[in-house]
Amino acid sequence: MIVSRRLLLLAPASLALPAAVARPAAAQATAAPSGYPDRPISLVVPFLAGGSTDIAARILAERLAPKLGPNARVIVENRAGAGGSVGSEWVRHRPADGYTLLLGSASALGTNPAALPQQTPYDPVEDFSPIAPVGGGPMVLVVPAASPFRSAQQLLDAVKARPGQYTWATSGAGGIGHLTGEYIKLMAGGLSAEHVPYRGGSAVMEALAKGEVDYSVEVLASTASHMRDGLSRGLAVTSLQRHPLFPEVPTLDEVGLKGLEVTTWNVLVAPRGLPAELARTLSAAVRAVLADPAVAQRMTVAGVDPMPDSTPESTRAFLVAERAKFGSIVERAGLRLGR
């Protein structure tokens, strides 16, 4: 998730670098194992099949194997639970040999550690070896098709006029949608609305279609098909530019929340201590996959924008910055989830 610099600058200085950052990283070897890979690689998705992370993982797995060798196999393994924390924690305890990888999300490696520290037993930076970001995309402020609100400003004005009277849904307390929604409320002047957490993006969109809640903040990959089918209506996206899938939907920056920028993301990591040369090998293979126009098109249509330019070092820096930014949102919003 990329949040405006304005938010980070407004956060207390103590939030910029959480205490966990001071933990020393494990020493890494300098060479990849000979003959790697000589058995299947498990690519763990910490969510159920069908979501945006799972879609990106399956596209990546299909094209990654040939980049690693003629006999390489990459198998997607879903280990869902606790907003991505269950699968992430499982990967953390696997050997750092390159045969177990995690496609982490902004929730699993970003918002959960920030908003649910007691329920997230790992550090998103120090407990994993960064490899490469895979894709991302904006969140969408979305309402049911039958909603009277035709613009983001109309919705925000109504919530401001009737504090606590409107309901908004997300795919889980402490997740990317929840923190993004809290950020929107802060930027709009400290709005008050009742948060209703569901057990995933598909459940959120079903609730919207049925009119059970007034609005949601959900990832583009979850909202895209509903918006295309007319079941829900997107009012604004949280990127600074309009998205090519829905060019008619404005940005929140355009409608008055200046500088607001939030994007979700997926990052490939391994257990802490992955040999540096192996990390570079995997990173180069991921970059080659994402540079393929056919892969880029498949991911974009699914609502996941490829992120092809990276190194293990830049990936680590990205995760450090995201951790600090999520922490600042939690602090400013006064969230005390699971504490």
Pairing mode of beta strands 215-219, 128-144? antiparallel
| Cα dist from 325 to 82, 113, 262, whole Å | 21, 12, 10
pLDDT tens track for 224-268 = 889 999 999 999 999 999 999 999 999 999 999 999 988 899 999
Alpha-carbon distance of 126 to 312, in angstroms, equals 13
**Banded model confidence at residue 41, pLDDT cuts 50, 70, 90:** very high
Q: What share of the chain is helix, strand, coil (3-state, %, to 5)?
A: 40, 20, 40
**Banded model confidence at residue 20, pLDDT cuts 50, 70, 90:** very low
DSSP letter for 110, please: I
Assessment of whether the complete model's pTM goes beyond 0.85: no
pLDDT at residue 166 greater than cutoff 60: yes
Residue 25's pLDDT is 37
**Banded model confidence at residue 202, pLDDT cuts 50, 70, 90:** confident
Residue ranges of the domains in the chain? 5-18+37-137+265-333, 138-237
Per DSSP, the residues of 300-331 read HHTT-EE-----HHHHHHHHHHHHHHHHHHHH
Beta strands in 14-145 (DSSP E): 41-45, 74-78, 100-105, 128-144
Superfamily of domain 138-237, CATH level 4: Periplasmic binding protein-like II (3.40.190.10)
Residue 49's pLDDT is 83
247: burial class by Cβ within 10 Å (0-12, 13-18, 19+)?
exposed
pLDDT tens track for 285-317 = 999 999 999 999 999 888 889 988 899 999 999
Asked whether this chain's domains 5-18+37-137+265-333 and 138-237 adopt the same fold, the reply is: yes
pLDDT tens track for 93-151 = 999 999 999 999 999 999 999 988 888 999 999 999 999 999 999 999 999 999 999 99
27: burial class by Cβ within 10 Å (0-12, 13-18, 19+)?
exposed
Superfamily of domain 5-18+37-137+265-333, CATH level 4: Bordetella uptake gene, domain 1 (3.40.190.150)
Q: What are phi and psi of 265, to 5 degrees?
A: -155, 165
Q: Are 283 and 315 in contact (CB under 8 A)?
A: yes
Residue 338's pLDDT is 56
Residue 33's pLDDT is 60
Q: Are 333 and 178 in contact (CB under 8 A)?
A: no
Of the listed ranges 46-55, 63-72, 279-288, the least confidently predicted one is 46-55
Alpha-carbon distance of 1 to 286, in angstroms, equals 20
pLDDT tens track for 206-236 = 999 999 999 999 999 889 889 999 999 999 9
Contacts of 305 (CB under 8 A, 6+ apart): 135, 136, 137, 299
Which carries the bigger pLDDT value, residue 203 or residue 281? 281
Q: Please provide the average confidence, as pLDDT, over all residues in the chain.
A: 87
**Banded model confidence at residue 196, pLDDT cuts 50, 70, 90:** very high
Residue type, 265: W
pLDDT at residue 12 greater than cutoff 80: no
End-to-end CA distance of the chain: 23
Residue with tokens 């540079």: 291
Residue 125's pLDDT is 96
